[in-house]
Amino acid sequence: MDNFQIVYSGWDPEEQKLREALCTLGNGYIATRGAAEESKDSKNNYPGTYLAGGYNRAKSNIADKEIENEDLVNFPNWLYLNFRPESGSWLNLDECEVQDYQQVLDMESGILSRSFVIEDSEGRKSKIESRRLVSMRDMHNAALEWILTPLNWSGSIEIVSELDGNITNNGVERYRDLESRHLDVLSTQELKDGISLTVQTNQTQLVMAQAARTTLFDGNHKLEVDTKTISNKKSIAQHFFLNAKEGISVRAEKIVSIYTSRDKAISEPSLEASENIAFAPLFDQLLKRHRQAWNRLWKQADIQLDNGAKTQRLARLHVFHILQTASPNSVGLDIGIPARGWHGEAYRGHIFWDELFITPFYNLRFPDIAKSLLMYRYYRLEKARHAAKEAGLRGALYPWQSGSNGREESQKIHLNPQSGNWLPDHTYLQYHVNAAIAYNIWNYYKATGDHEFLSCFGAEIFLSIASFWGSKAEFDTDKGRYVFLQVVGPDEYHTSYPDSDQQGLNNNAYTNVFAAWVLQMALDILDLLENPTAERLLQRLEIDEDELLLWKDIGTKIYLPFLDGEVISQFEGYEDLEEFPWEEYRKKYDNIQ
Give me the catalytic one of 382, 474, 492, 530. 492
User: What's the chain's Rg over C-alpha atoms?
Assistant: 27
Question: What residues contact residue 100 under an 8 Å CB cut-off, 6+ apart?
Answer: 115, 116, 117
Question: What residues contact residue 262 under an 8 Å CB cut-off, 6+ apart?
Answer: 51, 53, 54, 206, 333
Strand partners, 402: 351
SS3 301: helix
Strand partners, 355: none
Tell me how crowded residue 411 is: count the other CB atoms within 10 A of its CB: 15
Using CB atoms within 10 Å of the CB of residue 376, give its burial: 0 to 12 exposed, 13 to 18 middle, 19+ buried.
Answer: buried
Tell me how crowded residue 1 is: count the other CB atoms within 10 A of its CB: 9
The dihedral through the CA atoms of 200, 206, 209, 210 has a sign that is negative
Strand partners, 148: 128, 250
Question: What residues contact residue 131 under an 8 Å CB cut-off, 6+ apart?
Answer: 111, 112, 113, 144, 145, 283, 287
**492 an active-site residue?**
yes
Give the residue from 290, 259, 307, 271 showing the smallest Cα distance to 51. Answer: 259
In this structure, which amino acid lies at residue 251? R
* CA distance readout (Å), 451 to 102, 379, 461, 481: 51, 19, 14, 35
Question: Which are the catalytic amino acids?
Answer: 492
